[in-house]
Structure 1
């Protein structure tokens, strides 16, 4: 009863939303990168977004330590922002892999996976933006199911792409490079699915 009367720190939601802004911007840069002749500006943009997102994560952790009453369980806040940050890290991993493997041409499958990743990130942004109003629980849970579906679609694209690569590509080095790119791309939607699971848990426990 006493806890319900205490003032609650609402800035968590503001920071969550700021983090997802960086996430979606990074995913957009990745999608553009996949069709660009000059990838370097987009890689730099992704790196910049990752740094900003990391700063927001640290700000949330600092706020968590100095806040008496939090919007929901402290462990859930920690797990949520950590899994959100994993998405941005996964996007940066793709950019770093592109630099590492010196990939300069992207298959339609890679471009499709980048587009699916952006769609997934946009839905993560949507569900996170609704967390401060549990009256939106239905919308949140519906969007979480959409994230799960997109993750499955991306996984299927990756498996088909790798299978085709091994059947048709004779250059072993190219097979290695593209396989690695496909796998790090698919990790983005995996991380989005992890966020969706955490959001579902928060919503169901608050119902």
Structure 2
């Protein structure tokens, strides 16, 4: 029995990465629906709950990855890469939940065009993260490695778009919004949403490192 416990094992990390990435996309799409249906209190509550559910499911996957990592002698990629990747992915899910909670806590009354645009970019980033993660178990193949790197470049581009939207949104907010309370609320929401794309870019950078070291 002891001998069996000492044998090296390879956890199914790639499948768990995929599961987590799907939860990120679920959270992003639920948040997008929350924004799209913000005027309907019933739907707003429903999609807020959907974001929470996806975030909690992502947390469970993160816990399982970290637990498996401690129990595994031989890993398919560098141990530090596994740890950093799953925890950075989990940050994305956490930030989406923070966005939804902040809208309720700050009593945001209406959705601006800038919130819609930043939300759209955030969801696209989450979807690209999922697409890149799906390729990780096949990056020994050169064409797959190149596809993963290209997807990471797309995430970088989307993050740059979000930066520009944020700057324009801040300029408009400070020039046109007379209510200081609204300025504070919307500024916080804009920055949180842009941070989602920042964190997706962090995930992309980790994936690029994994690809370059293992392809």
Q: 2:94 — aligned with what?
A: 89
TM-score if structure 2 supplies the norm length?
0.91
Q: 2:20 — aligned with what?
A: 19
Count of residue pairs brought into register by the alignment: 202
Q: Secondary structure of the residue that 1:178 maps to in structure 2?
A: helix
Q: 2:52 — aligned with what?
A: 47
Q: Could you tell me how far apart the structure 1 residues matched to 2:212 and 2:14 are? A: 18
Q: 1:153 — aligned with what?
A: 161
Shift of 1:68: 1.4
Give a deviation string over 1:11-42, Cα, whole Å, max 9, x none.
11111111011100000011111111221111
Give a deviation string over 1:85-119, Cα, whole Å, max 9, x none.
01001101101110110113110110111011000
Q: Could you tell me how far apart the structure 2 residues matched to 1:40 and 1:118 are? A: 19
Picking from 134, 141, 145, the partner of 1:137 is 145
State whether residues 22 and 130 of structure 2, in contact with CA within 8 Å, keep that contact through their aligned partners in structure 1. Answer: yes
Structure 2 unmatched runs, 5+: 1-6
State yes or no: 1:170 paired with 2:171.
no
Structure 1 unmatched runs, 5+: 1-5
State yes or no: 1:59 paired with 2:64.
yes
State whether residues 11 and 72 of structure 2, in contact with CA within 8 Å, keep that contact through their aligned partners in structure 1. Answer: no
Q: 1:182 — aligned with what?
A: 190
State whether residues 11 and 69 of structure 2, in contact with CA within 8 Å, keep that contact through their aligned partners in structure 1. Answer: no
Q: Could you tell me how far apart the structure 2 residues matched to 1:141 and 1:8 are? A: 29
Shift of 1:170: 0.4
RMSD between superposed Cα atoms in Å: 1.2
Shift of 1:198: 0.2
Q: 2:85 — aligned with what?
A: 80
Deviating beyond 4 angstroms after TM superposition, the runs of 4 or more aligned structure 1 residues are none
Give a deviation string over 1:155-191, Cα, whole Å, max 9, x none.
1101101110100110110111000000000010000
Shift of 1:206: 1.0
State whether residues 8 and 71 of structure 1, in contact with CA within 8 Å, keep that contact through their aligned partners in structure 2. Answer: no
Q: 1:32 — aligned with what?
A: 33
